[in-house]
């Protein structure tokens, strides 16, 4: 299926994105830190991916991507470096919230 990678990303982000607006967890209390925490690894790994794919170290199976590309990277790969760090940071904040609540 041409959109499988994209569908996996949507499945990963849907619940964290919806729940991130909860007032209890207060995920967006420091938006600058959130942006920096996602942007820094994003740029490092995007540059790495661009370099590695240009050298032929790896590629992406066209059977599982939509075909839209940015700097010769599938849009899904670019979104991966936004979606997964967002989900990781959200999970960390939820764990901290429940740890504080149980203490």
Digit-coded pLDDT (tens) for 54-66: 999 999 999 999 9
Q: Is 87 exposed, middle or buried (0-12, 13-18, 19+ CB in 10 A)?
A: middle
Report the chain's terminal Cα–Cα distance, integer Å.
Answer: 47
Q: Say whether 17 sits in a helix, a strand or coil.
A: helix
Q: How many domains does the chain have?
A: 1
Query: Angle at which helices 4-19 and 75-102 pack, to 10 degrees?
Result: 30
What ranges make up the beta strands (E) of 1-103? Answer: 69-70, 73-74
> What is the chain's length?
103
Tens digits of residue pLDDT in 8-44: 999 999 999 999 999 888 899 999 999 999 999 999 9
Residues 43-95 pLDDT 10s: 999 999 999 999 999 999 999 999 999 999 999 999 999 999 999 999 999 99
Range of the domain at 98: 4-102
The whole-number pLDDT of residue 101 equals 86
Q: How confident is the model at residue 103 (pLDDT cuts 50, 70, 90)?
A: confident
Residue 13 is given by DSSP the state H
> Closest Cα partner for 76 from 41, 49, 44?
49
């Amino acid at each position: 299926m041409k959109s499988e990678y994209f569908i996996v990303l949507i499945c990963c982000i849907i619940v964290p994105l919806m729940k991130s607006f909860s007032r209890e967890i207060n995920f967006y209390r420091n938006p600058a830190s959130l942006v920096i925490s996602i942007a820094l690894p994003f740029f490092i790994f995007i540059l790495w991916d661009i370099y590695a794919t240009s050298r032929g170290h790896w590629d992406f199976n066209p059977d599982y991507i939509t075909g839209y590309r940015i700097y010769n990277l599938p849009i899904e790969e670019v979104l991966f470096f936004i979606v997964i760090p967002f989900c990781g940071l959200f999970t960390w904040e939820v764990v901290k919230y429940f740890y504080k609540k149980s203490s």
